[in-house]
Amino acid sequence: MLLVHKVELKPNNKQATYFRKACGVARFAYNWALDQWKKQYQNGEKPTEISLRKLLNACKAEEYPWMQEVTKNAPQQAIKNLGSAFNRFFRKQGGYPKFKKKGIRDSFRADNGPPQKGESAIRVTGKKIQIPCLGWVKITENLRFQGQIKSLTISRVADRWFASISVEIDKLPHVRKNQGIVGVDLGITKLATLSNGMVVEGAKAHTALLKKLKRSSRQLSRKDKKSMNFKKHTQKLARLHARIANIRRDYLHKATTDIVLNHHEIGIENLNVKGMSANRKLARHILDQSFYEFRRQLEYKAGLYNAQIFVADRFFPSSKLCHSCGCVYADLKLSERHWTCPHCNQSHDRDVNAALNLQRLCTGSSPETYACGVGSSGSFARQISETTCVESGIQHHA
């Protein structure tokens, strides 16, 4: 299996200049291919990323000789990325590809080709990495995984350069601690509430640094856009945004890894984050918790450690449903954090009750038996059918 270790680079001026050139070549190739794709499509042709790569290889020596100053993988992989973007667009998993802009998500890729003189093109020795067409570059830490290096992606965040090293490994870095079934309810005040009573507070990095972020943005707005101070402060603001993203990402990785290593069946919600963020009073808090990234990390880590993810239907009333008797409290408001079931008079914590319902979702033998009340979910599922006729619609991901 392939795992990626992202490590910071410490390039000198010459190496940083090469990185900027390679990012520029990759960006130009992507935009050139997107322009050709549109023209060919308007002429009734059926463009593909393979045909566009061949077309670029045929003309770049004469028309774009400066592209040969960097690794050939930079433009080729950029066009492959465009093909992947169109595949997602055709599957309705993303929007129509847009032209790239300088300074926004700059990156390029260098593949590890066949060994030359018994050595791979990309090598890591201690705190140094060998990059094709460039040589040895310092890195800030040792490579975390041991195995064959497959590819390398260089990217820039603010004024820092990073290398994402893809390594093929035979053994996972962690071992499952124990088995268990858990439901995970996501929220604003607390990132996640587990059915076993554990609570994941969430980093809330944007909220914590919001005052500093506003001050820095105001200072930038007062500077002349053509001045050197504007460029310097732009980098300063970019570093602050990167710090917020890093805090959030680090917290999510630790939380999701702990959940996957301690549970082999996990029930979660299928939240409409885009619709939820339309509420202007809650949008910043919702996006600060990063619900989609939490689910994405859970799903790919569950695949690595053979855990199972059960995703409830978007309209499954996890918060309004009494986990004891199955009665649905339809008048539950968002401000009500605790409520009492009108049928069995049991008091519930809103988040814990939702997590318990999601845990019950995992124990259903199939979506049909969970909805009609046959199987391991027993009277709980029957009560759902009798009171609200809810169809849970479980999606299973291994």
Measured from the Cβ of residue 309, the count of other Cβ atoms closer than 10 Å reads 22
Task: Name the strands in the sheet holding 192-194, side by side, starting at the edge strand that comes first in the sequence.
Answer: 199-200, 192-194, 181-186, 265-268, 308-311, 395-397
CA distance 359 to 312: 10
Of 185, 265, 288, 299, catalytic: 185
Question: Is 268 exposed, middle or buried, given 0-12, 13-18 or 19+ CB atoms closer than 10 A?
Answer: buried
Tell me how far apart the alpha carbons of residues 294 and 191 are, in angstroms, rounded to a whole number. 9
The DSSP bridge pattern shows strands 192-194 and 308-311 to be: unpaired
Question: Domain residues of the chain, as ranges?
Answer: 2-168, 174-398
Whether 269 sits among the annotated catalytic residues: the reply is: yes
CB burial class (10 A; 0-12, 13-18, 19+) of residue 139? buried
- pLDDT of the residue at 122: 86
Six-digit token string for 372: 């009609």
Please tell me the pTM assigned to this model.
0.80
Active-site pick, 106, 265, 288, 351? 351
Under a CB-based contact definition with an 8 Å cutoff, are residues 95 and 89 in contact? yes
Supply the pLDDT for residue 394. 34
Q: How would you classify residue 103: left for phi > 0, otherwise alpha for psi between -120 and 50, otherwise beta?
A: left
Residue 201 is classified by DSSP as -
Per-residue pLDDT of the chain (398 residues; tens, 9 = 90+): 888 999 999 999 999 999 999 999 999 999 999 999 999 999 999 999 999 999 999 999 999 999 999 988 999 999 999 999 999 999 998 899 999 999 889 999 987 765 554 456 888 988 999 988 888 999 999 998 888 888 899 999 998 999 999 998 888 888 877 778 899 999 888 899 898 888 999 999 999 999 999 999 999 999 999 999 999 999 999 999 999 999 999 999 999 999 999 998 999 998 888 888 898 888 999 999 999 999 999 999 998 888 889 988 888 888 888 877 777 877 777 777 887 787 787 788 788 888 888 888 887 633 333 333 323 333 333 233 233 333 333 333 33
Question: Which pLDDT score is estimated for 390?
Answer: 32
pLDDT value at residue 381? 32
Point out the catalytic residue in the list 106, 111, 269, 299: 269
Can 63 be counted among the known catalytic residues?
A: no
User: Is 288 tagged catalytic?
Assistant: no
